[in-house]
A and B are shown apart, each in its own frame.
Chain A
Amino acid sequence: DTAVSQTPKYLVTQMGNDKSIKCEQNLGHDTMYWYKQDSKKFLKIMFSYNNKELIINETVPNRFSPKSPDKAHLNLHINSLELGDSAVYFCASSPDRGGNQPQHFGDGTRLSIL
């Protein structure tokens, strides 16, 4: 069983479109995250939810909107996609929001904007 699963694995779309990436974890964790990994492999946190409550919201364009329908799911919706949004997006989860909690990562969604 995959602990943190993201869909789709690959997403190729045109500039200006709206797309969503889904994430589900079956670890029973309370906290989930979205990261963006750019072409230089640099990983930066975007959002974090704890029990459906937004707790981390980095400086991200408001075209990006996370949604957590329950604590096992954290989806990422992106409006009006731009070329600079091309990256690999990783979902992660941890048991709770304590700083000592290792995060468990999904395999990533590679987003390519044409």
Chain B
Amino acid sequence: AQSVTQPDIHITVSEGASLELRCNYSYGATPYLFWYVQSPGQGLQLLLKYFSGDTLVQGIKGFEAEFKRSQSSFNLRKPSVHWSDAAEYFCAVARRNNFNKFYFGSGTKLNVKP
């Protein structure tokens, strides 16, 4: 069965520090990969996506993610975190030969210290 793992439930970083949020998936083939951000009381906003090609993808708000096939990972990174980045981050995967059925990770809550 498809599964998505975000091993870190909570992460706290200082403003200006770098950030990496981990995401691993289990699936035989390379799925479509997404990162979403959810601010309190809001819906999910797409940060970036990977379908094929260059394994380093750029997204909005200065985020990037790198797909590593050998590790079945799609980690999200940001070189310098801003206080407004405090939110919940979700990794999602969708199988390539299926309807657009997203499997979400359990989320990582990011706190930013001043």
Contacts and interface: CB of A to CB of B under 8 A. Distances in A.
Interface of A: 4, 31, 33, 40-45, 48, 50, 55-56, 90, 92, 94, 96-108
A17 to B, nearest CB: 24
A45 B44 contact: no
A99 B96 contact: yes
Nearest to A99: B94
Contacts, number: 69
Closest 9 CB pairs of A and B: A105-B43, A99-B94, A43-B104, A105-B44, A107-B43, A41-B107, A102-B46, A97-B99, A100-B32
Interface residues of B, number: 27
Nearest to A96: B100
B113 to A, nearest CB: 21
- The interface centre, meaning the residue of B51, B96, B99 with most chain A CB atoms within 10 A of its CB, is B99
